Chains A and B, each alone.
Chain A
Amino acid sequence: MKALMFGWEFPPHILGGLGTASYGLIKGMSRHNDIDITLVLPKPWGDEDQSFLKIIAANKVPIVWQEPDSKVLNDSLEGRITTDEYYNFRNCICEDNRYIGTNGIGAVEFSGRYPDNLLEEIRNYEAVAGVVCRSNNFDIIHSHDWLTYNAGVKAKQITGKPLVIHVHATDFDRSRGNVNPTVYNIEKYGMDMADHIITVSNMTRDTVINKYHIDPRKVTTVHNAVTPLSQEILDIKPNNNTGDKIVTFLGRITMQKGPEFFVQAARQVLKRTPNVRFVMAGGGDKMAEMVDLASAYGIVDRFHFTGFLKGKEVYEMLKSSDLYIMPSVSEPFGISPLEAMQCGVPTIVSKQSGCAEILSKVIKVDFWDIDAMADAIHSIVTNDAFAEYLKVEGKKEVDEIKWEYAGDKVINVYNQVLGYK
C-alpha cells in the first residue's frame, strides 16, 4: 500500500510537537513491509532520517514549466531530489500556476516555518500537491495538521484516492476559544472533504464532532505515543545542587499552556512548605506577565525562569526535576508529560489534556483547580514513598505506550477507508 503524506515539520528541525508526532507515527507504521510512505515537506534540510520513508522536498518540485540548463538545475536541487525526479515532476504539471512566484527551476521557496504569510504558503503547497500526486500511483492520501489539509484535498480531487486527515490540534485549542475564522474555514473544509479523520485524543474528537459538526462515524482516535529515549539522553545526570525539591513547568509560556495556574499553585505551596523551588522553563508571549505575577506574589526567591531550552537542555531540566506539571488549559494530546515520565519524574497533568486519557500513573487535576494542584505538589515533595511510586510506576506505564501500536491503528483506518475490511 502506497501512502502519500503531507506534513509540515520533521525532526531534527522541529518547531513544535507536530514534527515529533509525525516522525514517531511514520516510524511506527513503517514496521509493516507492505506500507510504502512518501512524505511531502515544504522545506526539508537534507539531514532527515530517510531509512524508513521517502521525503519529497516541496521547494524543489516544479509547478511552472522551466527549461534550466543542467548546471543551474543541479545547483538548485541541492541533491534533495534527482534530476530524473525533477523531469518526471515537470511532466506532471497540468495546471497554470504562473500566478505563483517561482524561481529559476519553476519551484516555490518555502520558509518551512510558521511565517506571517502562512496562508500564501498553504496555497503554494497546495499547488505542489497537485503536481506530486500525479507523479506516481498512490493508494491513500494522509494530511497532517491544518496547514496541509488543502494540499490533501487537492490531491484527492485530482486522483480520486481517499483522503485521511490527522488532527493534531484545532484552533479551539490554540486560541482558548477565540477562533480565527480563516483558520476555522480551512479546518472545516479539510474535515468535510476527508474520507476519514484521525484525532490524537477523544477530547479532540469531541471538538471535531461538536465544533466542526462532523459525522462521528468518520472520526477515529489514535492516541500519540513516545519514542524511547536514546542512550545519550539516558546518560544525562541529574543536576540539582540546591538541596531543594524542584517543581518544573516546561513548555511554551502561552495562554494555552496555563502558566498562571502554575504560579498560583506555587504561591500556595510556598506559603507552607520550605525546601521547594519552582522552575518555569521555556519562552513565550506570556513570560513577562508571569514574571510580574511571581514578583507580585513575592515568591521570586524560590521561583525561577530559564528562558527557552533546546535539545539536550530540555532533558537536563527534566532529569533534575522532582516533579513535572503540565497545567494546560486545552491540550489536544501533550507528549511532554510522557517524556517527563520516561525520565522518571512524577507528573501532574491537567484533565483538559488529551494524554490524561491514556495515563493512569499520573495525578490529574482540573487546570483551574489551584488548590488541588497545590495539594498534589505538596504531597509529592513531602512524601518520598509517593514520589517513588509515581516515578517507578509512571516509567513502567510510559514504556508501554509505543508508536508501533499507534501505527497499527492508523493502518486499520487505511484498510477501513479502502474497503479492505
Chain B
Amino acid sequence: MKSICLYFQIHQPFRLKRYRFFNIGADHHYFDDANNEAIIKRIAKNSYIPANNAMLQMIKESNGEFKVAYSISGLALEQLEHYCPEVIDSFKKLAKTGCVEFLAETYAHSFASLRKENKEFEKQVEAHSKKIESLFGQKPTVFRNSELLFCDDIVDRVANMGFAGMLAEGAPQILDWKSPNYVYCSTANQRVKLLLKNCGMSDDIAYRFSDWGWREFPLTADKFANWIMNNPDEQVVNLFMNYEVLGEIQNANTGIFDFFKALPNAAKNRGIRFATPSEVINNNMPTGQISVPHPTTWANATKDLSPWLANTIQNEAFNKLYALTDKVNRCSDKQIIDDWYKLQSTDHLYYMSTSFYNQSFCPYDSPYDAFINYMNVLSDFNKRVDSFFTADISEEELNSLVKEKLALEAELAALKSGKKVSKTETKSETTKKATKETKKVVEEKKVAKETEAKKKTKKTNSK
C-alpha cells in the first residue's frame, strides 16, 4: 500500500540587531527582539495557528488516519514559548492525538554536523530531544538535519546516537536514475534508513501551488492524489516542506488550507494512506543503497551547501565560530550557552551569501553588512567566554591542554573497548598511558618554572 509521508519544518532564527564594533565589550545583548517578536507573531497568526487547527481537524475527521510529522528547532521553540505560547499548546494537543511525530534535529538549527573534531553536534541533538520530550512527551526516533544536510560522514554519528532513520534531500546528484519514493540506506552505515524528499512534488505544493503560469495550475487534491496513484510500484512519497508554506509562502487565499484539508479524503479514495517517518521506516526494508560523499541540502537550485558556505566570508565566519566550541563547552554560564546556540543558526551564514541574495528574507542591506555585524557580535562573545578563564593562561596553552585532555579521554575509551578484545593490546596502551603521564608531569614542571620566571621579571620590573 502506498503512503504519503508528510513532514513540516519550523525554524525561526534569533536575528541580530545592528551591532557596531564600538559596542564590543560594552553591550552583551545581540538580538533584535522587536523584529524577532514581530516576525514570529506574524507567522504564528498567518500560518502556525491556522495550520495546526487544520491538522487537528483533519486528524479528527479521518479518525486518526491522517498523519503528519514536525521538526521544530530549539530556537523556534524558545521563541514560540516566549512570544506565542498558544502555538506550543496547540502542538501539545496535536501530540496527544497520537498521529503526530516530532523529529530530532540540532537544537540551534546549526551545521555542527560538519565539524568532526568535537561533540557539539551530538550535544545539540541531545538537547533538542530533551526539549521535545519535555514539551510533547515523545522521544524522537528519526533524525532530520538542518537544511536537510546529509552526507556519508554524518550517518555514523546519527547511528551512534541511536536513530533508526534520517531524512534527506532527494537530490538529483545522489539519486541519478533512482526514484526517491523508496526507503534507502546509506553505503556508509546500513543501520540508518533514509527517507528522501520527493523534490518535484514537494515543490509543486510549496512553490508552484499559486503560480498561474504553471502548466498544472490549479493544483487540486484529487489531481495530486492521482499523480501518486499513477506512479507504478512505489512505496512512499515524501513531502517535506516548511510549515510556513501554509499561510505565509502560500497565502491563505490561494486555497492552500483547503488543498490540505481535501487531501486525506482524496488519498483514501485511491487507497493511499498517510504514515509518519518512523512508521515508514519500521514497515519497509531498504530497497537499495546510496552513497553521498559530498554534502547535499534542500537548497533550491544547487542542492548543496552553496547558499550557506560558498564564499570566503561565510567560511571565515563559520570557522571562527566553531573555533570557540571547546572554550564555550567548558563554561557553565547559562547566558553564554544560550547565546552560543543562537549564534549558530544557519541563517546567519545565509545572510552572507553573495550568490543567493534574497532581500525579502534578509534583515541586512548586503552580505557584507551581515558579515561585519556577525563578526562584531562574535568578537564580543569571544571576549565574554575568555573572561571566564583566568587571564594568566594564554590561548595556546589552553588549546594544548584541551587537546591533551581529549587525547587522554580517547585513550581511556580505547582502553575500555580494548580490554574486551585482547590483553596484549591493553598492555601497550597502558605503557603509552604511563609515558603520557610522565610527559604531563614534565609539562607541569615547565609551567611551574615559567610562572616562577614571570614572577621574577615582575619583581624586577616593580623594582
Contacts and interface: CB of A to CB of B under 8 A. Distances in A.
Given A363-B366, A364-B366, A375 B21 contact: yes
Interface stretch (A102-110, A131-139, A242-250, A381-389): A381-389
A5 to B, nearest CB: 38
Contacts of A372: 20
Interface residues of B, number: 18
Interface string B309-351: 0011101100000000000000000000000000000000000
B229 interface: no
B312 to A, nearest CB: 4
Given A385-B316, A389-B313, A376 B22 contact: no
B368 interface: yes
Interface in A25-81: none
B366 A271 contact: no
Given A375-B372, A383-B375, A386-B313, A360 B354 contact: yes
A271 B25 CA distance: 14
A383 B20 CA distance: 15
Interface string B353-371: 0100000000001101101
Interface in A354-394: 360-361, 363-364, 371-372, 374-376, 378-379, 383, 385-386, 388-390, 392-393
A361 to B, nearest CB: 8
Interface string B275-318: 00000000000000000000000000000000000011101100
Interface of B is mostly: helix
B426 interface: no
A271 B26 CA distance: 14
Contact of B20 (A360, A374, A393): A374
A372 B19 CA distance: 10
B372 A271 contact: no
B312 A385 contact: yes
Given A379-B375, A383-B316, A374 B21 contact: yes
A271 B311 CA distance: 31
B376 interface: yes
B22 A271 contact: yes
A272 B313 CA distance: 23
A268 interface: yes
Contacts of A273: 21
Contacts of A363: 366, 368-369, 372
A392 B376 CA distance: 23
A392 B316 CA distance: 15
A395 to B, nearest CB: 14
Contacts of B22: 268, 271-272, 371, 374
A80 B82 CA distance: 81
Interface string B1-45: 000000000000000000011101000000000000000000000
Contacts of B354: 360-361, 393
A364 B22 CA distance: 19
A386 B378 CA distance: 15
B383 to A, nearest CB: 13
A80 B425 CA distance: 95
Nearest to B23: A375
A371 B315 CA distance: 26
Contacts, number: 53
Contacts of A383: 316, 375
Query: Most A CB atoms within 10 A — which of B21, B316, B371?
Result: B21
Q: Which of B313, B315, B368 has the most CB of A within 10 A?
A: B368
B415 to A, nearest CB: 41
A376 B368 contact: yes
A389 B312 CA distance: 6
Contacts of A379: 21, 371-372, 375-376
B132 to A, nearest CB: 37
A339 B20 CA distance: 29
Given A364-B366, A386-B316, A388-B312, A371 B371 contact: no
B20 A364 contact: no
B366 A386 contact: no
A371 B312 CA distance: 25
Contacts of B375: 379, 383, 386
Interface in A323-381: 360-361, 363-364, 371-372, 374-376, 378-379
Given A272-B21, A272-B22, A379-B21, A386 B371 contact: yes
Nearest to A380: B372
Contact of B313 (A268, A364, A376, A385): A385
A378 B380 CA distance: 14
A378 B20 CA distance: 10
Contacts of A389: 311-313, 316
Nearest to B379: A382
A390 B312 CA distance: 9
A208 B20 CA distance: 37
A371 B372 CA distance: 12
A378 B21 contact: yes
A375 B368 contact: no
A379 to B, nearest CB: 4
A382 to B, nearest CB: 8
Nearest to B319: A385
Interface string B256-285: 000000000000000000000000000000
A349 to B, nearest CB: 12
A273 B376 CA distance: 13
A390 B354 CA distance: 12
A375 B19 CA distance: 9
Nearest to A348: B368
Given A363-B368, A364-B366, A375 B316 contact: no
A361 B375 CA distance: 18
Contacts of A376: 368, 372
A229 B365 CA distance: 31
Contacts of B311: 389, 393
A376 B366 CA distance: 12
Q: Which 6 A-B pairs have the closest CB atoms?
A: A385-B316, A389-B312, A379-B372, A378-B21, A375-B20, A363-B368
Given A372-B20, A390-B368, 13 more contacts: A272-B24, A273-B21, A363-B366, A363-B372, A371-B20, A374-B21, A375-B372, A379-B21, A379-B372, A379-B376, A383-B316, A385-B313, A393-B311
Interface of A: 268, 271-273, 360-361, 363-364, 371-372, 374-376, 378-379, 383, 385-386, 388-390, 392-393
25 contacts: A272-B21, A273-B21, A363-B368, A363-B369, A363-B372, A364-B365, A364-B366, A371-B20, A374-B20, A374-B22, A375-B21, A376-B368, A376-B372, A379-B21, A379-B371, A379-B372, A379-B375, A379-B376, A385-B312, A385-B313, A385-B315, A386-B312, A386-B368, A388-B312, A393-B354
